[in-house]
Structure 1
């Protein structure tokens, strides 16, 4: 079958990454977690004291952008790639609430977005890729053959995220997670550079009342039909 670019956008905690990983495995495509890239930059800023009481040391961060190397690597015996920041595996660290509470602010910096978008476009040059994020179908790959936009109610998304964090042994409250989800929604949708919006030609999927298997089957079956129609 013909290889295409599949762009999956949507709000935080809608299961974009889970669906994208599973879809990539089923199709034999490469999966790229763009959210992990922004989280990695956020972790770098945290570890280098770039968050101050006044905000972000934007000048210091921009001077350091050239020294930030992000790549994905499969661990032995695993199917999914993990995030490496300057050669160190940071997969667990970038999923912390500390990073979650700051990543939207880092992602709103135009220079950071421009650097990472450039890297993301290089990853899709040979197609056969599934990429998820906030602006994949609108900015990174506006000509992607298939675009999906995932959404769900804030309460459902907060519940999913809360259970995920508890499962990882994190000490958080549901109220804290819901506040984080709501704040990220606002920042992502209102930033001046590449705000979160649904592409005009994207297929919207509200998975508020869907289980993981149901939404995957819907997306997978649609994708196969779509590719077959391309010939």
Structure 2
């Protein structure tokens, strides 16, 4: 570990779990359950990019416009993100597609870097006012870029076919008409964008625990993650 990394780790008061993985891998559900189980604050970093995308779409701007996207990203505050997270449009397909484009813009990622690191270093209190014991962040580059010194890193994945079926079930559960073949192709396109982009591509951190959830339900995935996390010194007593 470098002197700079050691200094950053010692300066941070709370331990961090970094969770990365592709769409519909189950990392969001897992992250929320880990946070609840261990008393950690949770940040879905993908919601930040969705928030920027939604603001752009509502302003009639092109999600690929780097200047406009970076400008919107710099307006985000914890309160603004909290308000947008309650907006149903944040989770629709149009916003998701726009967010995938927005996340490839280096100026946007740079604008959101401090937001995410500050959350990790000084996690907010839990909903009941209890101080958080640490933080869990999930996204695409948490273990590689945002928190490369996180005490526990996981890369959650599943086969493309399984993830497409999960997304199909989610869409149909919301009453959205969808065809498996179309969802599968969209999943493949998104994976390609996320893994091949020049800025912060989706790749496992070298020291990440690889968790394939293809054949696991939510409880099994949680058990596997907790088994790994509790091998890390910072989390043995949580």
Normalised by the length of structure 1, the TM-score is 0.85
The answer to whether the 8 A contact 2:144-2:205 is kept is yes
The answer to whether the 8 A contact 2:74-2:112 is kept is no
Matched, 1:226 2:232: yes
Q: Quote the Cα distance in structure 1 between the aligned partners of 2:29 and 2:80.
A: 16
Q: Which ranges of structure 2 fall in alignment gaps of 5 or more residues?
A: 1-12, 124-133
SS of residue in 2 equivalent to 1:197: coil
Instruction: Describe the superposition over 1:123-179 as per-residue Cα deviations: whole angstroms up to 9, x where unpaired.
Output: 011360000000000000000010000111111001001101111122222222212
Per the TM alignment, residue 115 of structure 1 is displaced from its structure 2 partner at its CA by: 1.2
Residue 167 of structure 1: aligned partner: 173
Matched, 1:114 2:110: yes
Q: Quote the Cα distance in structure 1 between the aligned partners of 2:89 and 2:235.
A: 42
Q: Select which of 91, 100, 104 maps to 1:95.
A: 91
Residue 59 of structure 1: aligned partner: 67
- RMSD over aligned CA atoms reads 2.2
> 1:20-99 to 2 correspondence within 5 Å?
20-51=31-62, 56-71=64-79, 83-85=82-84, 89-90=86-87, 92-99=88-95
Q: CA, structure 1 residues 70+111, in 2 after alignment: closer, same or farther (shift >3 Å)?
A: farther
After superposing on structure 2, the runs of 4+ consecutive aligned residues of structure 1 that deviate more than 6 Å are 228-231
Farther off after superposition, 140-149 or 162-171: 162-171
> 1:166-185 to 2 correspondence within 5 Å?
166-185=172-191
Q: Quote the Cα distance in structure 2 between the aligned partners of 1:70 and 1:173.
A: 36
Q: Which ranges of structure 1 fall in alignment gaps of 5 or more residues?
A: 74-82
Per the TM alignment, residue 31 of structure 1 is displaced from its structure 2 partner at its CA by: 0.5
Q: Quote the Cα distance in structure 1 between the aligned partners of 2:73 and 2:100.
A: 17
